[in-house]
């Protein structure tokens, strides 16, 4: 009589599965750490925005920028306009509902100041751009120009996310390869019948 059964994992198979597990864990933890650091860096990005009270000018480089209103109640502000160095009022393209907490170091120690996107502008040349409003300005309200914080945060997490996916796929592939090597029919064992 022949008794067949699963053979215990040999060292090579065990090493393959352990390597796959380590690859997945290290990859996901590394990607998570990277994504967390990148997001924390993006949260601090508004510190470097150009700011002005309405009526003043800020120096901008050529390219796309997002105009924000910073304050405790920015919705109370009237229409906002940006005038280029050549005196032409720029078109503001609508952006989604983009907001950020203004860092306390920039908001004179206050932690209740919020930046709300008004629109995206395209600066055609470097120089001073005047930021202004149509109506009266509540106390403590400023205009800020900087990057799109939502897109920047998304761009920051894409590379770590890709790393996590690649390492998990690599770990699965390694585990599958190990399984296929250990699934060979020659791994069964035979025992002679008792009493012979």
Q: Which residues contact 156 (CB under 8 A, 6 or more apart)?
A: 35, 38, 39, 41, 42
Q: 178 pLDDT band (50/70/90 cuts)?
A: confident
3-class SS of residue 56: coil
Q: 76 pLDDT band (50/70/90 cuts)?
A: low
- CA 50, CA 146: separation in Å to the nearest integer? 7
Residue 172 scores a pLDDT above 80 = yes
Are residues 52 and 143 in contact, defined by beta-carbon separation less than 8 angstroms? yes
- 149-182 and 11-43 helices cross at what angle (nearest 10)? 180
> Mean of the per-residue pLDDT values for the chain?
81
3-class SS of residue 90: coil
Average pLDDT on 103-126 reads 84
Average pLDDT on 43-63 reads 88
Closest to 116 (Cα-Cα) out of 133, 99, 103: 99
Average pLDDT on 34-53 reads 84
Q: 145 pLDDT band (50/70/90 cuts)?
A: very high
Q: Minimum mean pLDDT among 68-82, 87-101, 135-149, 157-171: which range?
A: 68-82
- CA 58, CA 61: separation in Å to the nearest integer? 10
In this predicted structure, what is the pLDDT of residue 78? 63
In this predicted structure, what is the pLDDT of residue 129? 94
In this predicted structure, what is the pLDDT of residue 54? 86
Per-residue DSSP letter, 103: P
How many percent of the chain have pLDDT more than 70? 85
- CA 146, CA 98: separation in Å to the nearest integer? 12
Residue 7 scores a pLDDT above 70 = no
Average pLDDT on 5-26 reads 78
In this predicted structure, what is the pLDDT of residue 123? 92
In this predicted structure, what is the pLDDT of residue 75? 55
Q: Which position has the higher pLDDT, 88 or 195?
A: 88
């Amino acid at each position: 009589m022949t008794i067949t059964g699963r053979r215990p994992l040999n060292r090579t198979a065990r090493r393959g599965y352990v390597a796959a597990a380590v690859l997945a864990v290290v990859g996901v933890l590394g990607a998570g750490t990277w994504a967390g650091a990148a997001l924390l860096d993006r949260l601090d990005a508004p510190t470097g925005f150009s700011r002005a009270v309405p009526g003043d000018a800020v120096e901008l480089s050529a390219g796309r920028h997002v105009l924000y209103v910073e304050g405790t109640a920015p919705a109370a502000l009237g229409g906002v306009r940006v005038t280029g160095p050549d005196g032409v009022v720029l078109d503001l393209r609508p952006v989604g509902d983009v907001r950020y907490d203004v860092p306390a170091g920039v908001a004179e120690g206050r932690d209740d100041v919020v930046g709300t996107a008004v629109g995206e502008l395209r600066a055609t040349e470097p120089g001073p751009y005047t930021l202004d409003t149509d109506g009266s300005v509540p106390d403590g309200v400023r205009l800020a120009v900087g990057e799109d914080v939502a897109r920047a945060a998304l761009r920051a997490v894409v590379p770590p996310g890709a790393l996590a996916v690649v390492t998990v796929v690599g770990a699965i592939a390694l585990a599958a390869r190990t399984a296929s090597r250990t699934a060979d029919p020659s791994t069964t064992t035979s025992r002679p019948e008792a009493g012979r």
